[in-house]
A and B are shown apart, each in its own frame.
Chain A
Amino acid sequence: MNKRAATRWVALATVGICVGALAACAPADDNPGEGDAVTIRWWHNATSDPLQGLWADVAAEFEAANPGVTVEVTGYQNEDLQRTLIPNALQSGDAPDVFQVWPGGEVRAQAEAGYLRDISDDAADLIAEMGGAVKPWEVDGVQYALPFSFGITGIWYNKDMFAQAGIDSPPETLDELIEADDALKAAGITPLAVGAGDLWPAGHWWYQFALNACSVETLQTAIPALDFDDPCWVEAGENLEAFLETEPFNDGFLATPAQTGADSSAGLVANGNVAMEFMGPWNSGVIGSLTPEAEVPAFLGWFPFPTVPGGDGDPTVTMGGGDGFGVSAEAPDIAVELLKYIHSAEVQQRFAETGAGIAAHPAAADSLADPNLQQIASGLAGSSFVQLWLDSALGPEFGNPLNQAIVNIFGGVGTPEDVVTALKDTAAAL
């Protein structure tokens, strides 16, 4: 009996401790309150330094400049934030005040459901300063969010390997690219890496071919209208198929991830196993983190995607995207001030200096240290129109069906028509 009594006491004590601990960790009062005592919640996707540190500093500075205002800033893992946390928070009525807003289909869906605050007037000056980069976050002429980083996709390449294969200058047309591939293969180098295991890197190839095949009008009207009857969409797939027949990619690309580890497409470039990769502006940082020295390698260069002959596409149209923040419809006015501070020229310059990406604000363009990023920034500046990556532009419903159909072409089990069918079926089910 003693043992039983002792057990009972231990159990009760444990329960007591637990209850005490639980009570002590009761939720903080998140009522914004009246008057000057306001709490703003800010959610972003930077889970580690340098960017997390930067946002934390920005929050602290804003608090210092605005007494009575508390900023609760938290970074969450990107997929969790985008797919789970923000939609759930919006739906449950508990949206954070300032949060990461993805361009294209997502900002449109959120704006149409009334979750975002119209900042066209409040941030008018800033919008004018930032120029064309803000367009992907605009819905029907109304601005709902602002970008803090924006860049275009291009081909990252290993300058040393190009020299080794006798390629003097980066290819400017698709045929020159194919020639360069042959030269690389002759020198025993795998030309291109693609992270088709993650689906979207393969998707980017098709989007780029679509950009080359479709006229600007088609892009600008067909995508919002979800109308894919134009033959240019099939032509994009056919061009891709033709390119795939030259077998430019690394072995086993169907399972190659984009960024995880040495056998990812970025890792292959970083370790000198592959000469080129078609990827967005973040890639210099990724490749840098995957090298044995953990620095951006000196051999890394960048050139814009080659033009594709034929097709209605405008060669000055580029593809890209970025990240931005928006304000919740129910947020207090001070939240808009925080937004403006985050996107102000000085903070953007600091952002550029961290090397975490290309700042969207033109004034920060000089702060870019990396020559590749400078090239991207000038490519961006020279574009007549920047098309958002199609899976973002169309919306989250399209991402998987579209990318999967594209990967099927890569894997030799799908046709260009299948991609258009996937697009049409998804559109029909909306």
Chain B
Amino acid sequence: MTTTLKDTPTRTISAGRAVSSRPMRRRAAFDWGRPWVYLVAIVVVLVSVAPVAYVWIGGFRTTPDINADPAGWPNPWSLENYVVVLTSTRFWGSLFSSSLVGLGTTLGVVVLGVMAAFVIARYTFWGRGALYALFAAGLMFPLTVAALPLSVLLRDMGMQGSFLGLIIPQIAFSLPMTIIILVPFLRAIPAELEEAAAIDGASRIGFFWRILLPLSAPGLVTVGVLAFIGSWNAYLLPLLVLAAGGMPQDLWTLPLGAQQFSTQYSADTGAVLAYTSLSMLPALAFFLAVEKRIVGGLTGAVKG
């Protein structure tokens, strides 16, 4: 009798994951202590959100107002900064550029990362430890020091001033973290599934494509979000590749665009805060959209 996938106890994989074939049992509510829990939650949320709220509210103040009274409420409430930012072509161009680069980076990181992590996690071969260590070592070196040789390399390869020239190095820099997260995740998928797939006649690659990828979707989403946020907030690489490479300013990424509100000696603080608030929105939206999957994603890795 062949073992088919349907026979595999789904509970094995689903325990602890948000994605499962059975809904998770609701935890019985602990009634006592609930107000206390809410108090803690509110305090933590307030502390977390307050500085961010400061940025948002600061955008509603004119810069002279901020300078006159740094800690005060907007007086008057002014939409000017937000209007200036939203009506500039440079903002929308940067939004497009950041989105393009972000999505491209995320896609590349997830694809390349899961492929490499699959090999490290599921194959046994000479040099596997070294391969893993090589990727992990990428986390331990301050990359700013490598900016100069990187500039030279990018120029020699003709990648200056193109989006692809930015995306590919960004993928490279995001790979260590991605692989470190994905490897335990992929390892946690039981060997029986692989055996079952083999018995059913699927090759290892078939196993990868049909079973492993869907099961590791939460992990993929996790690394995707982290890569997207990393790319969204990146400054040095876009500076070296896009800004110095001849890309028109309207297509620089969002963090670079914040410069337009400062001179060498002074800054239009209100506009900077408004600009940053608006730039933050897409990254936040992306995070909120996939947030549930992250918890599921991290869960699987931890269980491994």
Contact = CB atoms under 8 A, between A and B. Distances in A.
The answer on direct contact between A and B (beta carbons under 8 Å) is yes
Interface of A: 4, 11, 14-15, 18, 21-22, 25-28, 30, 41, 45-48, 51, 72, 74, 76-78, 80, 84-85, 87-89, 91-94, 259-263, 266-267, 270-271, 282-283, 285-286, 289-294
Contacts, number: 131
A18 B245 contact: no
B205 to A, nearest CB: 16
B263 A292 contact: no
A30 B246 contact: yes
Nearest to A88: B151
A292 B236 CA distance: 34
A303 to B, nearest CB: 21
B266 interface: yes
B107 A289 contact: no
Given A14-B103, A28-B246, A261-B269, A22 B260 contact: no
19 contacts: A18-B100, A21-B100, A27-B160, A27-B162, A27-B246, A27-B247, A30-B161, A41-B246, A47-B259, A74-B243, A76-B259, A84-B236, A84-B240, A85-B243, A87-B148, A88-B244, A259-B265, A290-B64, A291-B64
Which applies to chain B's interface (DSSP): helix, strand, loop or mixed? helix
Interface of B: 63-70, 100, 103-104, 107, 147-148, 151-152, 155-156, 158, 160-165, 167, 214, 236, 239-240, 243-247, 249, 251, 259-269
Nearest to B70: A262
Contacts of B262: 47-48, 77
B160 A25 contact: no
B44 to A, nearest CB: 27
Contact of A292 (B67, B214, B244): B67
Nearest to B160: A27
- Closest CB pairs A-B (n = 9): A27-B161, A88-B151, A78-B264, A92-B152, A262-B67, A292-B68, A289-B266, A77-B259, A292-B64
Nearest to A29: B246
A22 B67 CA distance: 42
A307 to B, nearest CB: 28
A89 B5 CA distance: 58
A261 B158 CA distance: 41
A91 B265 contact: no
Given A72-B246, A259-B265, A290-B266, A18 B104 contact: yes
A271 B64 CA distance: 10
Name the residue in A47, A77, A92, A261 with the highest tally of chain B Cβ atoms < 10 Å from its Cβ: A92
A215 B283 CA distance: 58
B159 to A, nearest CB: 8
A286 B148 contact: no
